[in-house]
Structure 1
Amino acid sequence: MFSLRLFVFHLFTMCVVSQLQSGDFVSREEVETLKSRIQSLETQLKAKQDRTPLISFRAGFSHDPAPLKYNNGQNVIFDKMYLNDGNAYSPRSGMFRAPVSGLYLFTLHVLPSSSEMEFRIVKEGSAIAYVVATHSGGTESIQTAIHLHKNQEVWVVKVYGGDTLRGSLLSTFSGFLLRTDDGNFHSSSVVG
């Protein structure tokens, strides 16, 4: 909230300076009107922030290395929860179900301990992002923002490759709500 106030103060200052440079002077009444408008905008923003639910999760594997007992095309189940605000991710099914409509950000980190592997982040059966991880000792990552309607699901699928990933915090799936829908946002396209 402090940075918002600083931004609003800076904007207010720029307006006053602009008027002073142009030779116009700001009356006390105009300053009071601007202060009142700033306070109103701060109140509206705070009310919107208070209505935004906290939805976030981060899941990994309970074993290291984590054997993937999945055939190609099956869901990868990250079974160890590090964070699950809003309980939208199920460590039993590996599915994230959106509790509210809005814009979400998902991240997948994978570190294979065997051969090359490909993974996809999937929304309702359609791939929205993918990553190919090679057995080179480094973690591969993908991050994507996507609009979800309430109750739509997102999960990770193993497409092909080896049978073992490094577990614990080395291979993780995470996501969080960036913002809820308002009257101005109805896109269902992938942002990143």
Structure 2
Amino acid sequence: MERTFLLLAAFIFSSGQCQDTDPSRDPDASLAVCKPDITSAAVPRVAFTATMSHSLGPAMGQTTVKYGVILSNMGNGYNPATGFFTAPVAGMYYFRYTMFNNLGPTPNSMMSLMRNGMAMVTSLDGEGDDNNDSASNAAVLQLEAGDNVYIELYGSRELFDNAMRFNTFSGFLLFPL
């Protein structure tokens, strides 16, 4: 019993601790070898991709886009009922979205990536000579736990979608802070 305790104590006190770095014994040793053992630290896994499967608009006013088809939702940060991604932990996150319209001679789409009610980046497609247009945008955002990120379609604007799933919204945690 005492031997088991001593072995356990030796393991605990040696795990993630500083190592003996006497340069006279190891000329390649660095003085900065005291590092925490990060291999056992739990790093949250957060990633999602959601898509639409039906057209939307023209919107009466600014409208949150609700991507109802979930392709992945690791960490359950994206809520298809609200269209919001809610950051589970503080960190640096990457987000990307695509928009598509196929609305005849006057395509008319405009949407923004929003963080807590503020537009971060925007995509626009107005009138043109063709009727199949797409755009995308992306941003790396520093979020606090509980911050909301979502896509907003502007008033009088439209999106085209069907079973091909042209419009997507994705994001993932780069690293926690």
- Provide TM-score, normalisation by structure 1: 0.67
1:44–1:133 distance in 2 versus 1, CA, 3 Å: farther
| 1:98 to partner: Cα distance | 0.5
Q: Corresponding residue for 1:60?
A: 51
| 1:111 to partner: Cα distance | 1.0
| 1:116 to partner: Cα distance | 2.0
Q: 1:105 aligns with which of 87, 91, 94?
A: 94
The SS at the match of 1:169 is coil
Q: Corresponding residue for 2:27?
A: 30
1:72 pairs with 2:61? yes
1:173 pairs with 2:162? no
Q: Over aligned residues, Cα RMSD in angstroms?
A: 2.5
1:40-59 to structure 2, matched below 5 A, reads 44-47=37-40, 50-59=41-50
| 1:27 to partner: Cα distance | 7.8
Contact 2:59 2:157 in 1 (8 A): no
Q: Corresponding residue for 1:127?
A: 119
Runs of 4+ in 1 over 6 A off after TM superposition: none
Q: Please give the per-residue CA displacement for 1:107-148, whole angstroms capped at 9, x wherever unaligned.
A: 011111222211011111111111113574242110001111
Question: CA separation in 1, counterparts of 2:166 and 2:25?
Answer: 59
Unaligned runs of 5+ in 1: 1-25, 182-192
- Provide TM-score, normalisation by structure 2: 0.72
Structure 1 or 2: more helix by fraction:
1
| 1:69 to partner: Cα distance | 6.3
1:158 pairs with 2:150? no
Higher relative contact order (CA 8 A, sep 6+): 2
1:169–1:44 distance in 2 versus 1, CA, 3 Å: farther
Percent identity at matched positions? 22
| 1:28 to partner: Cα distance | 6.7
- Number of paired residues? 148
| 1:164 to partner: Cα distance | 3.4
Contact 1:99 1:151 in 2 (8 A): yes
Q: Corresponding residue for 2:137?
A: 142
